[in-house]
Amino acid sequence: MKADFTRKLLKWNAVQNRRIMPWKGEKDPYKIWLSEIMLQQTRVEQGIGYYERFIKAFPTVFALAKAPEKQVYKMWEGLGYYSRCKNLIHTARTLVEEHGGKFPSAYEEILKLKGIGPYTAAAIASFAFNECRAVVDGNVLRVISRYFGVSTPIDDVAGKKIYHSLAGSLIDPDSPGTYNQAIMDFGATICKPRSPLCGQCVQSKECEAFRHGYIEDLPVKSKSLKKKARWFYYFLIEIGDGVYIRKRTGKDIWQNLHEFVCFETDGDAAHGPGDILKKMLKRQPFIVRSSSEVYTQQLTHQQVHGRFIRVTIPLPGGGPEEDGKLQGPGKPALANRKVATISKRHKNTATSGQASDRAAGERILSGNKNAGASGQLRDAVDSDRMLLEKKITKLLARADEHNAQGAIGYQLVKKNDLHEYAFPKLLHAYLKQVYPSPARDDI
């Protein structure tokens, strides 16, 4: 039965398998490793574009090892599960520094590399080095469970032993790489999770699940995954052409990615942003420009909800009228008002500059005198803007002490530079609507 399964599978692969992927048939362990890491928790259709862009940007493990982390994370943006990216960088550097840029050729040695588990190690060992190691992924588990009629759960200890033993007994020792690719393709295109193509299956006559009518019941999982719900406010706090962001560095979701000013709540993120802002910014006036709908991102163990509130801090000396209402202590409804916050130590300079500007319209003064006064006024405003930025940064740092989810301090970056930073998928979906990024070829 086992020999017949393998023979039919390899024949199907040679004659009928039309599945095309850019890494298929690849012998370079670096490219195999990269493709396998990308395809973890990622659909093949989505992974192809990322793979091709990565290979173009980092054609060798040496290129990846020396690349700035910021660039690698930006290239990974949208794939999710960013611990994979972190391990990818670490392992690339390990391979260069400790192995001369070469992958170990044996399964057990490959398995020692960070971020590489039994499946990926088996894929690299069989595809690149022709070692007889069976890959066991979701496709393989489904094919084996149905063909042999195994109802033991695939996710408990006993089940894992059974499935790995069967997978090892089926592999063709003469062409392990070809066999491994064939059974994964077979599971992905014929023995699919839903609506499998049993009428086209070359294994159907011997398939226990097909013969007894319980295809849809296999494979069995014993554990139901409990997902935790989390709610976040994201405040896009803007000063002029800048907006505050920070990098998450703690042991939580989205490590090493960037985010806006963040505040986690206990429930639906539709209530109370104004109170949070007033508590966060103390007596600093602000204008709420807009509040978004709730965005949701599904992670493996968590469902994350976020609402985005766009906030403007009025510039010193006034400026263009802003949509929205000026808020803060004692200012509940001062709409569309310019706020003059030039510090007292610049009062005389500002007054002198304004007087000079009025006089210039009435009589001709020397260009040097007028330019000098205007320059002094600009210097005063610039100085006060710097003081304002420091003040807001300090206020955010204090507020963050009570609500930090693993991050370093906030920094003010130009809106036009946001495309250089990597954000979680949840934030990126909103970000590209509010701050459209310039077109780039490498992301």
Tens-digit pLDDT profile for residues 271-309? 578 888 888 898 899 999 999 999 998 887 788 999 999
Q: pLDDT per residue over 35-69, tens digit each?
A: 999 998 888 999 999 999 999 999 999 999 999 99
Instruction: Give me the pLDDT at residue 379, please.
Output: 65
pLDDT band at 408 (very low <50, low <70, confident <90, very high): low
Instruction: Give me the pLDDT at residue 432, please.
Output: 81
Rounded to an integer, the average pLDDT of 7-28 is 96
pLDDT at 334 over 50: no
CATH number of the domain at 66, please: 1.10.340.30
Q: pLDDT per residue over 345-359, tens digit each?
A: 333 433 443 444 444
Residues 238, 167: one domain?
no
Residues 263, 373: one domain?
yes
Who wins on pLDDT, 30 or 216?
30
**Residues 6+ positions from 61 with CB-CB distance below 8 Å:** 30, 92, 95, 96, 101
Residues 179, 260: one domain?
no
Residue 94 lies in a domain: yes
DSSP code of residue 153? -
Query: How many domains, the chain?
Result: 2
pLDDT at 402 over 50: no
Residue 281 lies in a domain: yes
Question: Alpha helix (H) ranges present in 16-110?
Answer: 29-39, 44-57, 61-66, 69-76, 83-99, 107-110
Residues 310, 418: one domain?
yes
Amino acid in the structure at residue 71: Q
Residue 46 lies in a domain: yes
Q: Which of 217, 245, 264 is the last residue of a domain?
A: 217
Instruction: Give me the pLDDT at residue 372, please.
Output: 57
Residues 208, 335: one domain?
no
Residues 250, 370: one domain?
yes
Nearest Cα neighbor of 327 from 341, 309, 342, 311 is 311
CATH number of the domain at 250, please: 3.90.79.10
Rounded to an integer, the average pLDDT of 317-322 is 52
Residue 255 lies in a domain: yes
Instruction: Give me the pLDDT at residue 381, please.
Output: 63
Residues 45, 138: one domain?
yes
Q: pLDDT per residue over 62-104, tens digit each?
A: 999 999 999 999 999 888 888 899 999 999 999 999 999 999 9
pLDDT at 141 over 90: yes
53 in Cβ contact with 440 (< 8 Å)? no
Residue 233 lies in a domain: yes
Residue 333: CB atoms within 10 Å? 7
Residue 439 lies in a domain: no
Residues 71, 118: one domain?
yes
pLDDT at 401 over 70: no
Q: Which of 198, 217, 236 is the last residue of a domain?
A: 217
- Structure token pair of residue 317: 């000396």
Q: Which of 36, 77, 131, 259 is catalytic?
A: 36
pLDDT band at 113 (very low <50, low <70, confident <90, very high): very high
How far is 95 from 113, CA to CA, in rounded Å?
Answer: 9
264 is catalytic: no
pLDDT at 415 over 70: yes
Residue 350: CB atoms within 10 Å? 19
- Structure token pair of residue 196: 């499998």
Residues 242, 205: one domain?
no
Residue 442 lies in a domain: no
Amino acid in the structure at residue 2: K
Residues 278, 250: one domain?
yes
Residues 261, 202: one domain?
no
280 in Cβ contact with 301 (< 8 Å)? no
Residues 411, 292: one domain?
yes
Residue 166 lies in a domain: yes
Q: Which of 196, 217, 238 is the last residue of a domain?
A: 217
Rounded to an integer, the average pLDDT of 134-148 is 97
Who wins on pLDDT, 224 or 210?
210
Identify the sign of the CA torsion 194, 197, 203, 204.
positive
- Enclosing domain of residue 34: 2-217
